[in-house]
Structure 1
């Protein structure tokens, strides 16, 4: 992290972030802004409670979402169509909450009532027909409680027919003066056959029924646990934990019994060689002492990757701490994405400090290009990918396309917070007095590396290094993917935190083992190798993405495919940088230890 002396300089950036984030919102479609946010959730009988429509989209393509009124539902007059202000995370998730014509009053039952008589053109009917065919759903919010419904239903016998639901019933539970729950249902008898019709006028109707419940307000989100991965699959998660723990124990046992015994024999052998003089043939890792602490090249790239990976590791730790304290409770809209953006901005000084301090320690002199590279190493690819995906979303007319105002706010956050903190951290790292303490002197010319078999090469070792950590998290990955790219909720953060700790431990252990095997065959190029081996789990996760997309999901279409592989590629890249920094640091501790334990001349 940035040193204390940088604190006053960071203050303006932090204040700018605090001012900008609550103001982020979207007003697509020319809608008005300024609607007040959630109330205290207390109502008197007869008080009107606003129903907000959010978005629609095909059920199996979670990224392909559109504005609710992009379909010919019953919109309120343009002067009364108000978009609810949203936080940054909500906008990034594609939420666009807008007022509706539903007139719902607290504790007032409404029999069947007409919402509007809608004159549907041929194009409107064709659009609804396509939506029913592709299982489109809509999402609304009532008193900050999410509700979902389907556009209609297809029937395949006899023939293929498509029915559009025109009546919606809201069943609302209350306790005292508060709303506890809401369910939406449709009347199949009022479904209209739109298989072959063109221009048609349809009545859209709704009804409301209130009923009392004993459930308290603080427990009203409990029912959404049935949408999570917990109830029927909890034993599988514990099996995953046990499997991962066994992996860690086996790996630890391997290091403790085999590797340490080999090291002990090496220490005895090298001690005996020293006592017998210099007539012995030089072989083994001891005789790399003049090269093992030779700094890697390109130095600036290595330090930038190490700094960025360290920052991502810190962000992950903060995310898990917040999750364990139940910050990301079910349907806390956009909380996770907001936390990621804020934490990335506020921890930028860490990447700058780590990269610059290592760069100076290793003898680098061009620290300005190093800081710029650190700034662009992760955000550069992310910006390029975002530009492409946002263009795709705009072409599709999707709510996943960020409004211009939101893009401007993100740019301002980068300009006033992320970039300045990275520079401040870099300056602090450049001016730090840290030195590289190597137990051996480095020779002027590098030692020749003997020919190595294929299984000692970088790619083969990366495959070995990534397999064990990936196997430790494989079972949990399916549920995480089902939550991110589906409609399930992931709420067992405590288990995920344990899996993350196991992932870090296994990555460190396997990288240390492979580093020893590399040094034992007199290959002193362990710096980059340890980083690549540690981060190789990210490549395994990306390969798993193909399996999940084509075998375990029903996602389809160019937009969904682009979003899935694009953003998962960025996530896997972040894993590569994070675990690569873990692998390097573990290997560095190991290498320092073994060379400190022997006599090197």
Structure 2
């Protein structure tokens, strides 16, 4: 049940090709300008700050729209991230300051004002792109006497201080003036920010008739010493506050030390117990095997390698878990060496590329295991392997996308994007899975068990359900506790406005997760065998994968206590996709738990000297 060296080499070559492909867009050049050249300002999306998934097109609110909408091109990653870019008519020229210019004069109807009121109530923010650099600002402000007269600045990818709404005399203000602060170095733009003007805001608290509004803007240019190649560092450094970064490092180091101690402790116990067992075996070497003095795992030599029930599903789970493990490892390696957090849409794009390209691993592992277990229904095994994870993902996507369509949100994927993703699965993921299955079937070696399996299975002892449940909970809680801090920051990145950039720490946490999962699964499998229960195949997978349950359980805590997400759309996306993410973790870590347990059981039973 192990991959051949040739197959591993081929997949390593694929990883290098992907690495080179991802380096090109990250290290590529950018726009250069001459004095007075126009600078494109692109409006992207708008939505509630605390509901990052609930995004809409910028001009879904009645801002000053150009006479002719020019939509920008999008890559797959940007579309998956909900981006819908359109060119604005802000007249910004390179190095030409502008201290006040009218964008347009617009008459806002009562319906328009109600839209703006709702946007202000729900803390709407908008995102624009200046020379492909994202800038953010709030649509308006809810002002109470307890707040300062000047509103807080928009937190760039950082933490946000909740606005106080306790005073019933709160007023709604709409910002009508934007200030673009742009830094340049030579002929390139190295920084861009947008700010709102407290002195130019419109009170829209109580309106009963249409209002005519002047929307204006200003542009401030400043020379900077920041290199063009370093212009994305501002976003990386703003992902966490300085104090938070220090706490982050200390927490992960603390987790690392605890994991090392835990693993060493479990290893010492296992070595000591096994040493005692082997010593008794050597002492009784002259006695006939199977004497009345034998007990525990030694009695199971004729049953411990009996293949599990539901072989097709078991092999498919191992294939799907191996696929996710390979894709995750490659994604982390790309993040370490070639990933740019400042590149918009790069993460979804890389994931969309990696998953199909690594599909061959699922077919290879599933078919190899299935053949070793004596399976014969190859077609069903391959189909089940190819849909075991994408199937539930597609069902959840249909539910979430339907909700997004009903909200007219940009989170809903366009029809042709759905067709292209589905076609990728049919024309790339599935064929590679079939190809991997063919290679795995041909190259699979016979299952090498150190003990012969009897024809009649041994009767297993009764295990109380609460004991089994406790073992599963312990198996999942320990790995989760090792990565708890990292899980929090990943949540704030996926379901917030932070950009995760500590990929070295993330890779270390992933290694710790795999290490603890393997260690605790092997320990619990040994205790199960010592209790003379040989049904460890499925149980080892359950032990390893139980961490996914704790990740999903944590999502409920995060939603209610650590975030301000609300609404049907955001709730559906959060709990729906977190369920799929937890399911994927269960498949991946369940595979790790089984293969580590298989290596362990083979090792200890090789020490038995049987006739």
Give the TM-score normalised by structure 2: 0.90
Equivalence map 1:535-546=2 (5 Å) = 535-546=545-556
The corresponding residue for 1:480 is 490
Aligned equivalent of 2:356, options 322, 345, 360? 345
Aligned equivalents of 2:4 and 2:601: distance in 1?
28
* Alpha-carbon distance, 1:463 to partner: 0.4
The corresponding residue for 1:397 is 408
Aligned equivalent of 2:63, options 73, 81, 86? 73
Aligned equivalents of 2:517 and 2:4: distance in 1?
27
* Alpha-carbon distance, 1:515 to partner: 0.5
Q: 1:7 to 1:507 in 2, by over 3 A?
A: closer
Aligned equivalents of 1:433 and 1:354: distance in 2?
9
Aligned equivalents of 1:116 and 1:43: distance in 2?
27
The alignment status of 1:51 with 2:62, answered yes or no, reads no
How well do the aligned residues superpose, as a CA RMSD in angstroms? 2.2
Aligned equivalents of 2:501 and 2:30: distance in 1?
25
- Give the conservation status (yes or no) of the 8 Å contact 1:2–1:350: no
Deviation string, structure 1 residues 11-52 (Cα, Å, up to 9, x no partner): xxxx9xx99xx9xxxxxxxxxxxxxxx983110111111100
* Alpha-carbon distance, 1:274 to partner: 4.1
Aligned equivalents of 2:514 and 2:188: distance in 1?
45
Q: 1:146 to 1:360 in 2, by over 3 A?
A: same
- Give the conservation status (yes or no) of the 8 Å contact 2:236–2:342: no
Decide which moves more: 257-266 or 534-543. Answer: 257-266
The corresponding residue for 1:260 is 271
Deviation string, structure 1 residues 544-582 (Cα, Å, up to 9, x no partner): 000111011111111111111111111111111111111
The alignment status of 1:292 with 2:304, answered yes or no, reads yes
The alignment status of 1:357 with 2:387, answered yes or no, reads no
Equivalence map 1:123-142=2 (5 Å) = 123-142=111-130
**3-state secondary structure, aligned to 2:286:** helix
* Alpha-carbon distance, 1:279 to partner: 4.1
* Alpha-carbon distance, 1:222 to partner: 2.0
Aligned equivalents of 1:130 and 1:256: distance in 2?
59
The corresponding residue for 1:386 is 397
Aligned equivalents of 1:5 and 1:214: distance in 2?
49
The corresponding residue for 1:35 is none
Q: 1:500 to 1:97 in 2, by over 3 A?
A: same
**3-state secondary structure, aligned to 2:558:** helix
Aligned equivalents of 1:336 and 1:258: distance in 2?
42
* Alpha-carbon distance, 1:5 to partner: 9.9
Aligned equivalent of 1:325, options 337, 340, 357? 337
The corresponding residue for 2:428 is 417
- Give the conservation status (yes or no) of the 8 Å contact 2:236–2:500: no
The corresponding residue for 1:61 is 51
Aligned equivalents of 1:210 and 1:470: distance in 2?
48
Equivalence map 1:490-505=2 (5 Å) = 490-505=500-515
* Alpha-carbon distance, 1:85 to partner: 1.0
The corresponding residue for 1:314 is 326
- Give the conservation status (yes or no) of the 8 Å contact 1:53–1:99: yes
Aligned equivalents of 1:476 and 1:66: distance in 2?
30
Aligned equivalents of 2:375 and 2:139: distance in 1?
62
Aligned equivalents of 1:266 and 1:306: distance in 2?
31
Aligned equivalents of 1:142 and 1:214: distance in 2?
19
* Alpha-carbon distance, 1:259 to partner: 1.4
Equivalence map 1:200-279=2 (5 Å) = 200-229=211-240, 231-277=242-288, 278-279=290-291
Q: 1:273 to 1:450 in 2, by over 3 A?
A: farther
Aligned equivalent of 1:594, options 590, 600, 604? 604
The corresponding residue for 2:153 is none
Aligned equivalent of 1:465, options 475, 492, 503? 475
Decide which moves more: 387-396 or 189-198. Answer: 189-198
Q: Which runs of 5+ in 2 are unaligned?
A: 11-16, 146-167
Aligned equivalents of 1:453 and 1:314: distance in 2?
37
The corresponding residue for 2:143 is 155
**3-state secondary structure, aligned to 1:182:** strand
Structure 1 segments (4+ residues) deviating >6 Å: 1-8
Aligned equivalents of 1:392 and 1:56: distance in 2?
18
- Give the conservation status (yes or no) of the 8 Å contact 1:240–1:473: no
* Alpha-carbon distance, 1:260 to partner: 1.1
- Give the conservation status (yes or no) of the 8 Å contact 1:50–1:143: yes
* Alpha-carbon distance, 1:94 to partner: 0.2
Aligned equivalents of 1:493 and 1:392: distance in 2?
33
- Give the conservation status (yes or no) of the 8 Å contact 1:237–1:495: no
Q: 1:513 to 1:2 in 2, by over 3 A?
A: closer
Aligned equivalent of 1:83, options 37, 58, 71? 71
Aligned equivalents of 1:148 and 1:317: distance in 2?
33
Q: 1:39 to 1:100 in 2, by over 3 A?
A: farther
**3-state secondary structure, aligned to 2:588:** helix
* Alpha-carbon distance, 1:357 to partner: 0.9
The corresponding residue for 2:188 is 178
Aligned equivalents of 1:392 and 1:2: distance in 2?
45
* Alpha-carbon distance, 1:412 to partner: 1.6
Aligned equivalents of 2:500 and 2:320: distance in 1?
27
The corresponding residue for 1:554 is 564
Q: 1:286 to 1:3 in 2, by over 3 A?
A: closer
**3-state secondary structure, aligned to 2:202:** strand
